[in-house]
């Protein structure tokens, strides 16, 4: 094991004890990136010079006694978060070469906490996808099997953490884009309650669904990064104004807690190994002192349909700003309309174009109430059903993904089958509730399986405590086979 394989908490303890330096950890992470990038393509940009300078600065400040929460910890950022002077493309040709003049709030808070920004990770274009195959700059590959996808849209972030080319990363989650790739890559992925983490500086996909969160190796690391990036931001009109939750009780166990098992998250489409692993973990939680109850949330079965009307509708409005006039790509035309049409045709990939068209159609006169309005009514029904469920139980558990990592190209020609990979994660986005994926084992092919814990809105404390207990019970220590050569 090298410093690139440490958790954030382990690295922080070694730094505090003087057993290593930020420069040593950052160099190890950059070496791992150099070893794996040709095969995995986790990053779009690696800021080697900036990362090393930041690490050296962190070590100087530590010698003077100036230490903050994430001092010297190398962290990667999904490339849809604005970084001052560093290219931010959203994996789209339409933003090629764009360098924002400011940092997103989460980036600013990471820098203030002493984090070392390694670079910007690959994603499905504008975060639209579940496999990171929709990137204009080529797909990311799964460290557990490079012939398989890492999930998406935060596949670059999840693969980087799994491979050791970052100790942690930030992703964005619109319909499961933190949790699903975390599950497929064998790491932890945490989506906080909507509004807990500022979206200022996040390039918008669907504004009522998007949420930034951490991808890490442990639940403890996820809680630590959440405590740094979370909290009210006056620059985000949807930012929650209340206090951040108390996160000190991660090791409190589950004795006395009521855990609901979602009935609808099983059956057709779910791989037997995934169902078995999740059922066995539920039994172990019972043995650890929790009470288990079967919970039916009927709207789970139509949440996917509602999402694929609401999210494209919001995307069609948000992506209208990419017109060739203000920034990004510009294709010339004989008049303004032709210039805009050519710019968008050249700049947007097929999945983004598909969702813009679907969203525009759903919002059009004569169809708005039948499609978008009906989807919003389904969303309200789901929220009410989840609120009722949380009157009976403290958290819900279910698989993060119905399958483990699938082969590259297996679903690219069938958008519906790709969309179905998010069937377990979408409800938390529609309801705005927190959810976390924790790795619990491997399937018979040696691929990671994740279980998802959903909490009530603003209920991160209890949800993270359950996740930490699952992590303790699972004792998941497996690593991608490809890393053995570099440890």
Which residues are marked as active site? Answer: 78, 153, 177
Round to whole Å and give the CA distance between 485 and 177.
30
Identify which of 459, 400, 388 has the alpha carbon closest to the alpha carbon of residue 426: 400
Round to whole Å and give the CA distance between 42 and 197.
24
Q: Residues 145, 69: contact at Cβ < 8 Å?
A: no
Q: Where are the alpha helices (DSSP H) in 4-152?
A: 8-16, 22-40, 48-63, 105-112
Other CB atoms within 10 A of residue 278 CB: 24
Helix 219-229 vs helix 105-112: crossing angle, to nearest 10: 110
Look at the chain and count its residues: 487
Where does residue 317 rank: exposed (0-12), middle (13-18), buried (19+ CB within 10 A)? Answer: middle
- In three-state secondary structure terms, 298 is coil
**Chain centre to alpha carbon of residue 380:** 24
Strand partners, 291: 258
Identify which of 292, 314, 331 has the alpha carbon closest to the alpha carbon of residue 126: 314
Secondary element (H or E) of residue 184: helix 179-185
Token pair of 300, please? Answer: 């789970």
At residue 245's C-alpha, the angle toward residues 54 and 450, to 5°, is 75
Round to whole Å and give the CA distance between 129 and 160.
18
Residue in this structure with the two tokens 């070893």, named with its chain if needed: 35
Number of helices (H), then strands (E), belonging to the chain: the values are: 15, 11
Report the sign of the C-alpha dihedral through residues 264, 267, 268, 271, in that order: positive
HEC per residue, 83-121:
ECCECCCCCCHHHCCCCCCCCCHHHHHHHHCCCEEEEEE
Identify which of 399, 426, 450 has the alpha carbon closest to the alpha carbon of residue 183: 450
Q: Residues 323, 340: contact at Cβ < 8 Å?
A: yes
């Amino acid at each position: 094991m090298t410093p690139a394989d440490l958790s954030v908490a382990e690295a922080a303890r070694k730094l505090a004890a003087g057993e290593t330096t930020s420069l040593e950890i950052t160099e190890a992470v950059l070496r791992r990136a150099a070893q794996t990038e040709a095969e995995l393509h986790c990053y779009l940009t690696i800021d080697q010079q900036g990362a090393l300078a930041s690490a050296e600065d962190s070590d100087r400040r530590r010698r003077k006694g100036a230490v903050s929460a994430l001092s010297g910890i190398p962290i990667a950022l999904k490339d849809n978060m604005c970084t001052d002077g560093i290219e931010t493309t959203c994996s789209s040709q339409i933003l090629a070469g764009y360098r924002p003049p400011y940092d997103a709030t989460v980036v600013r808070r990471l820098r203030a906490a002493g984090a070392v920004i390694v670079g910007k990770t690959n994603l499905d274009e504008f975060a639209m996808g579940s496999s990171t195959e929709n990137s204009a700059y080529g797909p990311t590959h799964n460290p557990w099997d490079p012939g398989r996808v890492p999930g998406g849209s935060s596949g670059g972030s999840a693969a980087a953490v799994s491979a050791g080319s970052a100790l942690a990363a930030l992703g964005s989650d619109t319909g499961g884009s933190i949790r699903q790739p975390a599950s497929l890559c064998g790491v932890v992925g945490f989506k906080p309650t909507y509004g807990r983490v500022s979206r200022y500086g996040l390039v918008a996909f669907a504004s009522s669904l998007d949420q930034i969160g951490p991808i890490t190796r442990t639940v403890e690391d996820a809680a630590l990064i959440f405590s740094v990036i979370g909290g009210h931001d006056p620059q985000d009109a949807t930012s929650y104004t209340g206090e951040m939750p108390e996160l000190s009780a991660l090791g409190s166990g589950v004795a006395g807690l009521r855990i609901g098992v979602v009935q609808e998250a099983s059956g057709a489409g779910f791989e037997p190994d995934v169902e078995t692993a999740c059922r066995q973990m539920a039994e172990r939680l019972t043995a650890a002192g929790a009470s288990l109850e079967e919970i039916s949330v009927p709207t789970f079965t139509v949440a996917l349909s509602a999402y694929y009307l609401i999210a494209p509708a919001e995307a069609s409005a948000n992506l209208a700003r990419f017109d060739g006039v203000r920034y990004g790509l510009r294709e010339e035309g004989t008049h303004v309309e032709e210039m805009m049409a050519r710019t968008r045709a050249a700049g947007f990939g097929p999945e983004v174009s598909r969702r813009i068209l679907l969203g525009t159609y759903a919002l059009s006169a004569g169809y708005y109430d039948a499609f978008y309005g009906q989807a919003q009514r389904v969303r309200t029904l789901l929220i009410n059903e989840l609120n009722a469920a949380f009157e009976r139980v403290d958290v819900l558990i279910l698989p993060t993904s119905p399958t483990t990592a699938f082969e590259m190209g297996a679903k690219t020609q069938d958008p519906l089958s790709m969309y179905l990979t998010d069937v377990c994660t979408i409800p938390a986005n529609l309801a705005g509730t927190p959810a976390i994926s924790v790795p619990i084992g491997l399937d018979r092919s040696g691929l990671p399986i994740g279980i998802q814990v959903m909490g009530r809105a603003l209920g991160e404390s209890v949800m993270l405590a359950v996740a930490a207990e699952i992590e303790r019970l699972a004792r998941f220590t497996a690593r991608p086979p490809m890393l053995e050569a570099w440890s």
